[in-house]
Structure formats: C-alpha cells, structure tokens
Amino acid sequence: MGLKDKGLLVVISAPAGCGKDTVIAELKKADDNVKQSISMTTRAPREGEVDGVDYYFTTVENFEKNIFNNGFLEYVKYGINYYGTPKKAIEENINEGKSVILKIEVEGAGNVRKIYPDAISIFIMPPSFSELSRRLKNRGTETPEDIERRLKIAETEIERAKEYDYIVINDDLSACVDDVLSIIRAEHLKYNNMKNTIENIINN
C-alpha cells in the first residue's frame, strides 16, 4: 500500500446567528472523515460548554506560552480574548487524510490562507439581514444593543466574503450542509489532491 493523499484544511466563517455550529455538527455526523479543530481560548466557558470539546479553555499565561512555543497555526485577539488554532492535531488529522474544519473569524481565516495556501475557505451567509436579525432576537440571549452591535459586525464580516473561495447560504439547514459536503468532496477529487491515489492505482 502506498502513501495516502493528505486531507483538506477547511476554513468556515460566518457572522453570529448564521447557524455555523449547527452546520458543522451536521457535517461531522454526515461524514466520518470530517473532523473539527478544537481551538484554545482565554474566554470563560459559556453555560453548557465543555473543556476539550467546545474549546480548550486556558489562562492568558498558558496561551502566551503556546504562542512562544510556536504551538498555533494562527491566533487572534478577538475583543478582549485570545483564540488560537493548535497546530499538532491538525497536522495529524491531515496526514491521515481527514478534512479538518476550522471555525474561525475573518481575520484568522486570512492568516490561515497566507500560511496554508491550499486551505479552502467557505463563508456562510444568512438568507437576508432581516432574517439574521430575527434569528438573533429569537435566541433571546442578547439585549437589543447587543443585537445591533452583532448586526454591525455581521455587515463588516460580510464585506470580507469576497476573500473566500465559496459562499454558502444557510436558508435551509440540510441544503446548506449538502452544499458544504459537495464542496469538500469535489475538492478531494482535484488532481493535486489525488496524486498518491493515482500512484497507488498505477502500482497495483
């Protein structure tokens, strides 16, 4: 048996309220080869969040030690908190041929593209601004000021959608998941991602 082809690094960004967590959960259910990178953050866990599942929650001191030790593929300071993508698990998964999803904001996505030009990037859009506003209100967790602030951020994030390879609209969840899965499958079949597989075919 020859070498396996490497997996893909898939960057997914979306404004708050676009349903990216649900989309990613469905992707993982639909395809065993899809893994999600667990980021490290210095923000406090929200209710229901589990250390090592949603994030690795850590101290500023430990986070900065990791920066110093070159442990992150990328990291940002978003608001008052650090968020970073640990390198090691990603490399292991990609070497095993898995697709690894990074759920990161637009700044980090730009950094990943610079460091890892083969990464594919997907921006998830709401069907409309009025729908996004309705979804944020329905969550019932934010004040009207918070919602206004998030909509403003969403506007600036959507302006940067042009930096991404693919735009997927989350109007209907299963259609959105299908779109993302189709992108991942098609990217896997690109010649450059099939070289080892072709080599194995020739040698067998």
Interface residue list for ligand 5GP (CB under 6 A): 39, 43, 74, 76, 78, 83-85, 103-105, 108
Give least dist CB 76 to ligand 5GP, A. Answer: 4
Contacts of 85 (CB under 8 A, 6+ apart): 37, 39, 72, 73, 74, 75, 102, 104, 108, 112
Give least dist CB 49 to ligand 5GP, A. Answer: 8
Give least dist CB 42 to ligand 5GP, A. Answer: 10
What is the SS3 assignment for 23?
helix
Instruction: Tell me whether residue 5 or residue 105 sits nearer to ligand 5GP (CB atom).
Output: 105
The token pair at 1 is: 């048996």
Give least dist CB 104 to ligand 5GP, A. Answer: 4
Instruction: Tell me whether residue 19 or residue 84 sits nearer to ligand 5GP (CB atom).
Output: 84
Where helices occur in the chain by DSSP H, the ranges are: 20-30, 60-68, 87-95, 106-115, 129-139, 144-159, 173-188, 195-202
Instruction: Tell me whether residue 39 or residue 58 sits nearer to ligand 5GP (CB atom).
Output: 39
Pairing verdict, β 166-169 and 34-36: unpaired
Instruction: Tell me whether residue 46 or residue 189 sits nearer to ligand 5GP (CB atom).
Output: 46
